[in-house]
Amino acid sequence: MMVTVMRTRIVNCQIFDPATGGDAFPGWVEFENGVITAVGKGQAPAPSAGAEITDIDGQGFTLAPSFVDMYANFCEPGYEYRETVASGSRAAASGGYTAVCLRPDTDPIIQRSDVVRFLLERGVFANMVDIFPIGALSMNMEGQTMAEIGEMAAAGARLVGEGNTFVKRTGFLRRCMEYAGNFGLVVMLTNEDPSLAEGPCHEGFMSTSRGLKCTPVQAEEIAVARHIALAELTGTPTHLVKISSAAGVRLIRDARARGINITASVSIHNLALNEDANAGYDAMTKVWPPLRAEEDRLALLAALEDGTIDIVVSDHDPHVIEGKEVEFDLATVGASSIELTFGVLNTLVERGELKFATVIRALATAPRKIMHLDGGVISAGMPADLVLLDRKAVRKVCGAELVSQGVNTPFDGTDLAGCPVMTFRRGRMTFAA
């Protein structure tokens, strides 16, 4: 008796496999039961006898490994009016993501194993992306008493950190890092000394001339220096979240040259925008870290290209529109961005500011390496976590039409070059444009 084999192929596409280190090549990819079974160049062969194959025509599109976001806020539990795991997962899938790490500053805070399990269950129920809760370092994120780090690790947490909260007590942070290291967890640290931070704008001519509250780059520089020193002291894998300045880049580059076990990320907003975006008092541009000077933005782009900065995060932080329709100083901080991240980055590629290979490394390969996840390459035996990209499509952003519940984006009205057209998580299509 002949057994029918159900398989899916993406054909007639340009395949970009980071493992090859070269340009995209015309070809096809076949997968079955969530795993890539074959990759070929040129035209796909005719199906073998007994095989039932569904072909998806990828003509004009580029196939790449799907994306992993190491820093996003889906607001659940506690703030479901802003976003839920379900709505955030749909937005992520539309942005080409198959895995998302969630900030701990929910209500209740992700500080116990039961909250970790709850979010993992919500992710399974949504069935769009893999959810990775980031456990808090301290109870109530107050920097006084250690959270249930070991129990959260046992429940499935891979990362710990305090979200956008700075841990003031250096000795306490050291103990947390040492303890987390015993469980193989990556410690994610925010980089802004609050004693120097007065507001969410870069300290420079633009902010002072307009009377905006601001924060100097030294607030980041001091924090980064401390965290590098602690990473060296403890040996714990340490991730520096959302670097925004040339000063921070210089410190990280030096530390990595000395072999210190650190990685770093940059927010999409700091890569694409500078302080001039705040000049019109548009609260949609109020994000953290502050949008810095153009020289800082250029330093971040260079650092991403040379690998000093490993990954790009969406820093997805949806808010209700009422939080943005107030004067700048009173407005909420954050932007809805997870479904726009690739388009923003590919626009920078089209402008000649980034290489496409760098984008894929920063969104797909490096996050998986940091988190010890399978995938990030297109080869037989790897998970069929894939995204089909239209690199030439031009999309005008309309905040009101975002998949996310949040409509707050600084890119509203902007033309972006490129967008995902299909996303596959373990072979299952989770998004189609």
Domain ranges of the chain: 5-63+382-393+418-432, 66-371
Residue spans of alpha helices (H) in 276-421: 294-306, 341-350, 356-360, 366-371
Confidence grade of residue 1 (pLDDT, cut at 50, 70, 90): very low
Residue 50's pLDDT is 63
For residue 48, is pLDDT > 90?
Answer: no
Confidence grade of residue 46 (pLDDT, cut at 50, 70, 90): confident
Residue 47's pLDDT is 75
The burial of 125, by beta-carbon neighbours within 10 Å (0-12 exposed, 13-18 middle, 19 or more buried), is given as exposed
CATH class of 5-63+382-393+418-432: mainly beta
Phi, psi of 262 (to 5 degrees): -130, 150
Q: How many CB atoms lie within 10 A of CB 46?
A: 8
Q: What is the mean pLDDT of the chain?
A: 95
66-371 fold = TIM Barrel (3.20.20)
In whole angstroms, give the CA distance from residue 392 to residue 61: 9
Residue 4's pLDDT is 44
Residue 2's pLDDT is 37
Question: Which contiguous run of DSSP H or E holds residue 250?
Answer: helix 246-257
For residue 23, is pLDDT > 90?
Answer: no
Residues 364 and 356 sit within 8 Å (Cβ to Cβ): no
Which whole number is the average pLDDT over 42-50?
79
CA distances from 280 to 176, 268, 277, 317, 409 (A): 42, 20, 7, 21, 15
- Beta-strand relationship, 415-425 and 386-396: antiparallel
Residues 71 and 315 sit within 8 Å (Cβ to Cβ): yes
In whole angstroms, give the CA distance from residue 167 to residue 30: 47
- Beta-strand relationship, 62-65 and 386-396: antiparallel
Active-site pick, 130, 315, 317, 385: 315
Residue 45's pLDDT is 87
Which pLDDT tens digit goes with each residue over 91-121? Answer: 999 999 999 999 999 999 999 999 999 999 9
Residues 81 and 320 sit within 8 Å (Cβ to Cβ): yes
Residue 357's pLDDT is 96
Residue 399's pLDDT is 92
In whole angstroms, give the CA distance from residue 411 to residue 431: 22
Question: Which contiguous run of DSSP H or E holds residue 207?
Answer: helix 205-209
In whole angstroms, give the CA distance from residue 274 to residue 348: 14
Confidence grade of residue 3 (pLDDT, cut at 50, 70, 90): very low
Which whole number is the average pLDDT over 48-58?
83
315 tagged catalytic: yes
Which whole number is the average pLDDT over 59-74?
98
For residue 138, is pLDDT > 60?
Answer: yes
Three-state DSSP at 10 gives strand
Local structure of residue 364 (DSSP, 8 states): I
% of the chain exceeding 70 in pLDDT: 98
Which pLDDT tens digit goes with each residue over 253-273? Answer: 999 999 999 999 999 999 999
For residue 210, is pLDDT > 80?
Answer: yes
On the question of a common fold for 5-63+382-393+418-432 and 66-371, the answer reads: no
Residues 411 and 48 sit within 8 Å (Cβ to Cβ): no
Question: Which contiguous run of DSSP H or E holds residue 254?
Answer: helix 246-257
Residue 223's pLDDT is 98
In whole angstroms, give the CA distance from residue 147 to residue 159: 13
Which pLDDT tens digit goes with each residue over 380-400? Answer: 999 999 999 999 999 999 999
pTM: 0.96
